[in-house]
Structure formats: C-alpha cells, structure tokens
A and B are shown apart, each in its own frame.
Chain A
Amino acid sequence: MKRILVVLASLALVASLTACAKAPTEEINATKAAVDAAVAEGAQQYTPEDYKMVADGLAAANAEIKVQEEKFFKNFDKAKQMLAKAKADAEALKGKVAQRKEELKQAAIATLAQATTALAEAKDLLAKAPKGKGSKADIEAMQTDLAGVEAMLPEVQPMIDGGDFIGANEKANAILARITAVTDEVKAAIEKTK
C-alpha cells in the first residue's frame, strides 16, 4: 500500500513538472501580429536591416518554443521573454518605419516644391532674357527644354500619394537638377548678350 502511494506521489510530481508549462500561444500570436503590422507599414522596404533583426528575434523565440515543446520538463519562461522583446521591437519598428516614411514624404514634398519654385523662376528669367541676335536660338531651345521638364512635374504628386516616396524623391530631384541646369544656361545666355 505504501509503495503504491510512493509511485502515485512520484507520478504527481512528474505531472506537476511537465503539464503546467504550456506553449505561450497568446504571446506568439501577439508578437506575430506586431511583426505583421510592421511589415504592413513597409518595414521590409524602408528599414530592411531593422526588419531582419525583428524577424530573427521572432524566429529565435519560435526555435526556443520548439525546443521546450520537445523537452520532458518544459519551461517557456525564456521563450516568453524573447517573444516580449520581439513584440516590443516590432512595435518600435512600426513607429520607426512610419517616421522614416514621413521623413521621405516630407523630403519629396519639399523637393517638389523646390522644383516648382525653380521652374517658375527659370521661366521668369527666360521671359526677361533679352532675345537678341546672339541668344534667340538658345532661348528658344531652353524654352522647349523647360516645357519638357514642366510636363514631368505632375508625375511626382501621384507617386507621393501612392506611397512611393523614394521614387518621388528621385524624380523630383532629377527634375530639379534639370531645371537648375537650364537656369544656368539661361544665365549664361543672358551674360552672352551683355
């Protein structure tokens, strides 16, 4: 009778050590949701290095869970800590991505505004340029150039609206560079007539 009691006590001890530890399903789901939210915000595109760190953090936590699931005596404390960190990192990343996107958006908007102003100034300068015998042909060519670049300006805003901030920035910068080049040419042509 006493032996039976000892065996039962041992089984109870084993059961208490194994059955109490359950995989942290809620934490896993919450962390995955946080990572997915960061991805949806554009983490892979805008902050790829940070995204990789967060994804690796989640993968490491999942590995730890798998290890514990296979163990006779399960302990998910470490996995929970890892998940908590990965979740916090993912949430921070989402904020960082949003901030980076906003920075790029503002940069694109600023460059577009700069290009628009530069275009108006170039047109003004061109209109005031003396169309003398020595500069008329150059000025006509520059007008055509400016008209060509002006036609590209409306392409930038839809890119900003569509969330392609990097592309919008590149286009706006390229347009600005061309307008600046034409402005320099206009100034040179004016200088030629003096």
Chain B
Amino acid sequence: MAKIGPALRRLGAGPIIVALVFCLLPLTGCSEPPLPAEVDLVVKQDQDLWKVGVPRFAPREYDEYAAALRAGQDLLIAERSKFLWFQNYDPIATLFSELIVHGEQVRTAAMTAKARETTELNLQIIKVSERLRILRELAGEVRDKKLSTRGMARAETLINEARGHVKNGDWTKARRTISEASLNLDGAVKATRQSMARFADGQQIAHWRTLVANAIQKSRSSGGYLIVVNKLDRELSLYKSGQLVKSYPAGMGINYLTDKLYSGDRATPEGEYKIIRKLPASKFYKALLINYPNEQDEREFALAKRQGKISKNARIGGLIEIHGGGTAGLTNGCVALDDRQMLELYNTVEVGTPVVIVGTLSANNTLCSTLESLCNEY
C-alpha cells in the first residue's frame, strides 16, 4: 500500500477520474428508472380494444389511435435511449395519458358502430323474414303449388345463416347472406307474380266478371239455378233467379289457380259449364259431373299442343265434378264441399244447371295486393 500511493501521485489525478467515470458509467446505465404507469396501461388498453373487436368495428378510428400509439412509443424509445441523467418521462406520461383518453373515445366509437351495424343488419333480417312470412302465409292461405317454391326454403335457410354471422360479428358475410336471401325471395315473388299475372290482369278479371254477370242475368230471366265457383276465394255460390241463395267454402287441387289444360295438371277449369250428371254414390259422397272439356277447352288444348306447350301425348282429361269429401283436402281439379253442404246442393240443383268457374271477381284481390306489396314495399 505504501508503494501504490507514490505511484498514483506520479500518474496525476486526470487519468484516475477518467477511469472512474468509465467504471461508473456502465453501472449507472444498467439500472433504468421505471417507466410511467401510463405506458403499461396503454399497452393493456390496446390489447383490450383489440379483444373487443375495435379494429373491426371502427377501423379508421383505430388506425388513428394506433398511429398515435406508434408515435408515442417512438418518443418513449428516444427517451429511453438517452443517458439516464438526461431522461425525463414527464412528457411521456402526459402523452400516454392522452392516449388512454383517445383509446376510450375509439372504444366508444367502435361500440356505437357495432350497435348501429348490428341493429341495421337485424332490421334487414327482420324485413326479409317479414316478406317471407307474408309469402308463406299467402301460400298457406292460397295453397297453390306455385306459391311454395324452393327459393323460399333457401331464403329461410339463408336468414338463419345470416343470424349466425351477425352473432359472430362477421358483418361482411352477414350482409352478403342477407342480400342473397333477399334475392331468392325476390325471385320467388317474381315467379309467383308471373304465374299469377292473370289475377292482376284487368282484362282477364273483366272477362270473368262478364261471364258471371251474364250467367246471373240468364238465371234472373229463366228463374233457374246457377252455380258460380270463385277459385281464388275458394267459394261456391248458389244463385236462384239471379239472386244469391247461399255460398259454401270449396276445396280444390294443388294447382287450382291455373286454368285446366290437360289431364293430370291438377288444375281446375275455368269457363261456362253445366251439370250433365248427378252421381248419388260417388267416391266422394255425392257428385255433380260437369261438361269439362267444353268446346272452348278443346280449342285451347289443341292450340297448346300445336304450340308445343304440352306433350304430344297429353290428353285433355275429364270427370271434373263438384263433390263431397270435405274442403280441407286436395282434389285433382274438382271442386269439393263438405258432405252436409254437398247434400244440400245436390238436392237443390238438377242436371242442366249452369256452372260458371272463374279465377276471381275482385281486381284488388288478396293474391294481387299481397304480391304487389311484397314488390313495392321493399
């Protein structure tokens, strides 16, 4: 020790200070002060924002927040890179406090957007579901096969699928699925409208009205009975001397809204007919056979064959009756009444009684107005 003292004195104080500084510098650089608590809070906030789907629900706002966060982190890096003695985290703490506020604003914006979009999508689902319900109700009421299409089943399934996408927060898929459901429903409505166009055709309805009016006039003149079948209303009306005596609910086939053209089409014919035979012991209680096909039917059948609308092997068919058996079932083109009412009718009318079968007498019928509303409302 006695020898070191003089040696140090010979070197001088300068180098000793330099050596000490270099020895101490690494030691001071190793122990950074703790970062402001706000830094960790922002990191956690960002992860939480991500967790609740903020980047998906408010992408623009989140991008702005993320950019501000990146800028803040760059400042933090710059500050941490300084010598310990020159580090000042106060501005960083302030900046990250502002970021927390910014993050909460972004969260609010995202949650608002999520609620708004979810509500909007659910409203769209409700709209499509409502259209579907109306069409299904109409199909249930009218019970014609043209109103029950695959498009409706597809639309219904797609609506179920869209609900799942909304629940998952997958708006893109939800929107696409709702749109597809709506298109399928549009197709079903369009197809139904086309096949049911006669029920919205003023000229056709006027023709049906004329047929009935003339028949009532004849009944009035002759004092005889007249049977009028209104297909859309599923109603059979009995007239005497031009006056309505009674109306009965009537059942028909699965394709009853179409004018019968050939055997097996399960359609109910339209036009002027008459009872040609009374059958007291029919398969369906009692029956009144009408003269289908009449001359008009034969002309239309021949024309359809020539035009290739029906098979060359098709037959025109026959045996169209007003019979018992109940209105709930499906006929192959006949008009069915409940047995008690059939008995009443059977006992009232005679062979030769005119029978007029028409599609509808109302220009603003249910079918037409419902389909119109389905097209116009949405």
The smallest C-beta distance from B168 to any residue of chain A, in angstroms, reads 7
In the complex, chain A residues whose CB is within 8 Å of the CB of B73: 59, 63
> Taking chain A's interface residues, is the majority helix, strand, or loop, or is none over half, making it mixed?
helix
The reply to whether the CB of B152 lies closer than 8 angstroms to some CB of chain A is yes
Task: Output the least CB separation between B114 and chain A (Å).
Answer: 15
Q: Does the CB pair B19–A178 fall under 8 Å?
A: no
B254→A178 contact, CB < 8 A: no
**Chain A, Cβ-Cβ closest to B154:** A148
Q: Are B50 and A3 in contact (CB under 8 A)?
A: no
Chain A residues within 8 Å of B308, by CB: none
B51 at the interface (CB under 8 A from A): yes
**Do residues A174 and B149 form an inter-chain contact, with CB atoms below 8 A?**
no
Bound-state CA distance A75–B30 (Å) is: 9
- List residues 130-173 of chain A with CB under 8 A from any CB of chain B: 132-134, 136-137, 140-141, 144-149, 151-152, 166-167, 170-171, 173
A174 near B161 with CB under 8 A, answer: yes
A10 interface residue per 8 A CB criterion:
yes
Given A10-B19, A75-B30, A148-B149, A178 and B160 contact (CB-CB distance below 8 Å)? yes
Distance of A73 Cα from B81 Cα, bound (Å): 10
Q: Which residues of A contact B329 (CB under 8 A)?
A: 132-134, 136-137
Query: B34 on the interface (CB 8 Å rule)?
Result: no
List the one stretch of B21-29, B98-106, B370-378 in contact with chain A.
B21-29
- Contact partners of B293 in chain A: CB under 8 A: none
Q: How far does the Cβ of B100 sit from chain A's closest Cβ, in whole Å? A: 16
Number of chain A interface residues as a range: 35 or more
Give the CA-CA distance A49 to B148 in the complex, in Å.
Answer: 46
Report chain A residues within 8 Å CB of B168.
Answer: 166, 170
Among candidates B80, B153, B326, residue contacting A67 with C-beta atoms closer than 8 Å: B80
Bitwise, B8-34 to A at CB < 8 A (1) or not (0) is: 001110010011001001100110000
Distance of B38 from chain A, by nearest CB (Å): 16
Q: Is the CB of B26 within 8 A of A49?
A: no
Q: Nearest chain-B residue to A166 (Cβ)?
A: B168
Binary CB contact string for chain A from 52 to 85 against chain B (1 if under 8 A, 0 otherwise): 1100100110010011011111010000000000
Q: Which residue of B lies closest to A59 (CB)?
A: B73
* Cross-chain pairs A/B with CB under 8 angstroms, 15 sampled: A10-B19, A49-B51, A53-B47, A63-B73, A66-B77, A71-B81, A75-B29, A144-B153, A145-B148, A145-B150, A145-B153, A173-B164, A174-B158, A174-B160, A174-B163
A: residues with CB less than 8 A from B are: 2-3, 6-7, 9-10, 13-14, 17, 48-49, 52-53, 56, 59-60, 63, 66-67, 69-73, 75, 132-134, 136-137, 140-141, 144-149, 151-152, 166-167, 170-171, 173-175, 177-178
